[in-house]
A = this chain, B = another copy of it.
Amino acid sequence: MSEFKPRDPDWETKARESFARQSAMASIGARLVVLRPGHCEIELPYRRDLCQQHGYLHAGYTTMIADTAAGYAAFSLMPPGSSVLTVEFKVNLMAPGAGGKFLARGHVLKPGKTVTIVEAEVIAEQGAARVTTAKMLATMFCLAGKADTPKE
């Protein structure tokens, strides 16, 4: 059960197909693991080639999966024939990106016709331990009349 009602009966397929077109997600090994109306979770296993200078996951990747989870959380509530754009986000980094895998959870705070406010967090998992490494507050834009389909 979700608190939100999608406006497009095809919401899940279009979001999953859009995610699958993100070469950035495939390149780093990120997977879309949970998708509900207004909610999206993306998982990224740690890899040694995704790190900053101390060997932790680079804040850019923390942000990338948070932004992507936030974007699809918003997109899941958008009407047919529209695309999602990130207007802006703010991220607080709360702990180093240390862990075996990272889970980004995006959740809509306020859906809107044009602008949707979303929050997201990233959780590092190391064995049984769970540490929140980042918190995001983001603004997503619904680009009406331009479906999120492959370029010809």
Residues of A within 8 A of B (CB): 18-19, 21-24, 26-27, 48-55, 58-61, 63-65, 67-68, 83, 85-95, 109-110, 114-115, 117, 119, 132, 135, 137, 139, 141, 148, 151
Contact = CB atoms under 8 A, between A and B. Distances in A.
Contacts of A19: 53
Nearest to A134: B88
Interface pairs A-B: 6 shortest CB-CB: A60-B64, A24-B58, A90-B90, A21-B53, A27-B49, A88-B92
A114 B141 CA distance: 10
Contacts of A52: 22, 24
A24 B92 contact: no
Copies of this polypeptide in the complex: 4
Given A27-B50, A48-B23, A88 B139 contact: yes
B23 A137 contact: no
B151 A55 contact: yes
A60 B59 CA distance: 9
Given A60-B60, A64-B64, 4 more contacts: A85-B93, A86-B93, A90-B91, A110-B132
A148 to B, nearest CB: 6
B64 A58 contact: yes
A40 to B, nearest CB: 14
